[in-house]
Structure 1
Amino acid sequence: MNTCSMNNPLICPLCRKPNHCAYAAGRPAEECWCMNLPVPKRLLSQIPDEERGKSCVCEACVRAFKADS
């Protein structure tokens, strides 16, 4: 696991790539991509316990999860 990105609010805790979270980047939450694409709870449950609630998953992980479901 790449520990450099652990708990970084701008990095997806699943794929370790930028999550493009508007809120974490200091912009209004309403500007975030996740306002138009719900994040499944089953996907959120895959986030390691020590990283849960510290950063958002990215749009690519959400879309891939939905495509596989």
Structure 2
Amino acid sequence: MAKKLNKQKECPICSGMNNCNKNGDCWCGYEFFPKEIFDLIQEYQLGKSCICKDCLDQFKSDNNFKIRVNTRE
């Protein structure tokens, strides 16, 4: 049986590991998160888990990222 991922450690955009360390010094505390990236997250998921670094980096570097995420099934 596959082990379920802790939802707090799951990126709300890609569902991968976010590698966030809420109990200490974390990479996300040193990053800028554009306001628009939060528009990609469904309202019920806001504030429940962190966006992963891969999604953040892709969003910042790729103007088409928002379109790809919104159209995935």
What range is the shorter-chain TM-score in?
Answer: 0.7 to 0.9
1:8-63 superposed Cα distances (whole Å, 9 cap, x missing partner): 1100000000001110xxx31xx211122211110012111111111110000000
Structure with the largest fraction of helix: 2
Larger Rg: 2
2:42 is aligned, of 30, 37, 48, to 48
Name the residue aligned to 1:63.
57
Structure 1 Cα separation of the partners of residues 46 and 58 of structure 2: 20
- Residues 1-69 of structure 1 mapped to structure 2, 5 A cutoff: 8-23=7-22, 27-28=23-24, 31-69=25-63
Structure 1 runs (4+) greater than 3 angstroms displaced: none
Q: Percent identity?
A: 35
Cα RMSD between the aligned structures? 1.7
> Which residue identity does 2:21 align to in structure 1?
A
Structure 1 gaps, min length 5:
none
Q: Distance in 2 between matches of 1:41 and 1:17?
A: 21
TM-score (norm 2): 0.72
Would you say how many aligned residue pairs link Structure 1 and Structure 2?
Answer: 60
What TM-score do you get using the length of structure 1 for normalisation?
0.76
**Unmatched tracts of structure 2, length 5 or more:** 64-73
